[in-house]
Amino acid sequence: MSSREEIIKALQEVKVPAKAYPGAFTAQVIGEDTLADFLYSMQVVSTTVIQVKEAADASPALDKHFPNMERVHLNPLADGLSLADIDVLEIEGDFGVAENGAIWLDDSNLPHRVAPFICQHLVIYLSQNNLLPTLQEAYIRLGDKQTGFGVFLSGPSKTADIEQSLVIGAHGARSLVVVLTEC
């Protein structure tokens, strides 16, 4: 008998009293103002937000934020390793979550899965029409979308493994800028 069969058999032999699935959970809306909640969460996760009418308007602010650094906009680069040399990578976010600042990115947003992690600094463009109050709504929005890889990304990488001192910039991006557009 294979280990698979042995494990399944052992589990089937245990008589666990039946417990019904509780059904979907309905979140209570936390605040009245999803945009304000999102901006607050961005602050909590050490993220700079640039609010503009449309994406192109962000250039002056980004030039100022990343002086003398090359910015690479989403570009179907095949090789993950070559992304290691990119200073600032710009990508499009799918939707954002107000309660925790998480932004959904998946294979359809990413030139390579490692892109948002390996670049030194990350810029995500997001429309403020694509903000949802809680993670629960986010999963409803995601539905049964099939994607090989997807990530809820909230802020730049960080660690507090040395004496609980917060350090921004662990293995992933050292900083995150979210360009929030009106349309």
Question: Residue 86 has what DSSP assignment?
Answer: -
Task: Give the footprint of other proteins on residues 120-159 (CB under 8 A).
Answer: 134-136, 138-140, 142, 144, 146-159
Of the residues 34, 72, 99, 111, which one makes contact with other proteins according to CB under 8 A: 99
Does position 161 interact with other proteins (CB under 8 A)? The reply is yes
Answer for the pair 66, 88: CB distance below 8 angstroms, yes or no. Answer: yes
By C-alpha distance, which of 107, 124, 117, 129 is closest to 35? 129
Q: How far is the CB of 79 from other proteins (least distance, A)?
A: 10
Task: Give the footprint of other proteins on residues 37-66 (CB under 8 A).
Answer: 41, 44-45
Quick check: helix, strand or coil at residue 103? strand
Cα distance between residue 95 and residue 133, in whole Å? 11
Of the residues 123, 173, 177, 180, which one makes contact with other proteins according to CB under 8 A: 173
**Closer CB to other proteins, residue 18 or residue 183?**
18
The helix (run of H) or strand (run of E) holding residue 122 is strand 121-127
Q: Which stretch binds other proteins (CB under 8 A): 20-28, 52-60, 69-77, 85-93?
A: 20-28
Answer for the pair 178, 39: CB distance below 8 angstroms, yes or no. Answer: no
**Closer CB to other proteins, residue 131 or residue 138?**
138
**Closer CB to other proteins, residue 149 or residue 182?**
149
Does position 21 interact with other proteins (CB under 8 A)? The reply is yes
Answer for the pair 94, 103: CB distance below 8 angstroms, yes or no. Answer: yes
